[in-house]
Amino acid sequence: NAGVTQTPKFQVLKTGQSMTLQCAQDMNHEYMSWYRQDPGMGLRLIHYSVGAGITDQGEVPNGYNVSRSTTEDFPLRLLSAAPSQTSVYFCASSEFLYGEQFFGPGTRLTVL
Amino acid sequence: GEDVEQSLFLSVREGDSSVINCTYTDSSSTYLYWYKQEPGAGLQLLTYIFSNMDMKQDQRLTVLLNKKDKHLSLRIADTQTGDSAIYFCAETSGSSNTGKLIFGQGTTLQVKP
């Protein structure tokens, strides 16, 4: 099992550009989430999904879109990047609602 | 709203015990977790405790939960240099049907040889 994989590892964008952060898991987990990590602020939930076709907003959803067309994939889209979106982004998945969340290695995004 | 607070930094000597503290506000917290993040890596679950437990021990790790004071601690016995990392406390609420985690800011543990 590869676990949770994320691509790319690093990305630099200019303000206004769009991009998609990819996340995939091969553990057949129903629950998937996107977090951003900023210094001194811990991790904050952006969007989450409780199964294919079902997504919902987390704590800081503005500026991000998600979709969940398959159990395995949960991409995060930035439609028009802003410097405030400079952060490290983590995708996570879990088998059960309150089960252990498995995290990907993260994507470090810089928006200039 | 829900909030989880941790001190930001702890420095100990190798072989000493480390105690990392966490407070939370959500009285309906069901599960409380400790995650470890090594430099440049994602988070890894260390241990967790159900809200109806007071203590959980797992090898060198001891988790204590004071539900009345909404205080959680992680004790690492015989701390090693490999324990140097950021430790995150997180909780999830039984009143939520999403299982979403609320994280603290993270405590950076520095272990000096």
CA pair distance B25, A82, nearest whole angstrom: 32
Contacts of B4 in chain A (CB under 8 A): 42
Q: Is the pLDDT of residue A91 over 90?
A: yes
Cβ proximity of A54 and A34 under 8 Å: no
**How far is the alpha carbon of A48 from chain B, nearest alpha carbon, in Å?**
8
Model confidence over B15-47: pLDDT tens digits?
A: 999 999 999 988 777 789 999 999 888 899 999
pLDDT at A101: 86
Q: What average pLDDT is seen over chain B?
A: 90
CB contact under 8 A, B92 and A98: yes
Please choose, from the candidates B81, B77, B72, B75, the residue with its C-alpha nearest in 3D space to the C-alpha of residue B103.
B72
Residues A41-66: tens digit of each pLDDT? 789 999 999 999 999 998 899 999 99
**What per-residue confidence (pLDDT) applies to B3?**
86
Which among B8, B44, B99 is the nearest to A94, CB-wise?
B99
CB contact under 8 Å between A50 and B103, yes or no, is no
How far is residue A78's CA from residue A19's CA, in Å, rounded to a whole number? 5
- CB contacts of B43 in chain A (<8 Å) are 43, 90, 92, 101, 103
Q: How far is B95 from chain A (nearest CA, A)?
A: 12
